[in-house]
Amino acid sequence: MLWLVASGMPGFDISQGFATNGFGEHSPGGYGLVACLVAEIVLTFFLVFTVLGTTHPKFPAGFGGIPIGFVLVLIHLVGIPITNTSVNPARSIGVAVFQGGWALAQLWLFIVAPIIGALLAVVICRLVRARD
């Protein structure tokens, strides 16, 4: 469906990707590999940490979506100029498969970084909860 909508734009070229995640020359802001790796790890950390915190039994039931939504908006505002924001390997894999080429070659970063960020969030969350 996304491809059908995007292909309706005059001048659409799938080889340019459509919000495909990338670093270096494929980063919207031209950010390098290390900057993109750190950004994706940190942004994923904040998303997962927020989800873990708002799904804790001590958090008021039914209100988790509010902070999760705000954090997700903030993550995208920060991350789109850097990498087009991944924080989710499935999101990166989907557009990389359509684009092929350079997007598939850079896909490893957008699988590895979210995993590292999520693992860090779990560790930090457990440390914070252990203090309770």
Q: What is the mean pLDDT of residues 102-127?
A: 96
pLDDT at 132: 66
Q: Where are the domains of the chain?
A: 31-131
d(CA 96, CA 90): 10
Q: What is the mean pLDDT of residues 13-18?
A: 66
3-state DSSP assignment of residue 39 = helix
pLDDT tens-digit profile of 59-79? Answer: 788 888 899 999 999 999 999
Q: Is the pTM of this model over 0.85?
A: yes
Q: What is the mean pLDDT of residues 8-29?
A: 80
d(CA 55, CA 57): 6
CATH classification of 31-131, choosing from 1.10.1270.20, 1.20.1080.10, 1.10.260.40, 2.60.40.10? Answer: 1.20.1080.10
Single-letter residue type at 56: H
d(CA 37, CA 31): 10
What percentage of residues in the chain have a pLDDT greater than 70?
Answer: 93
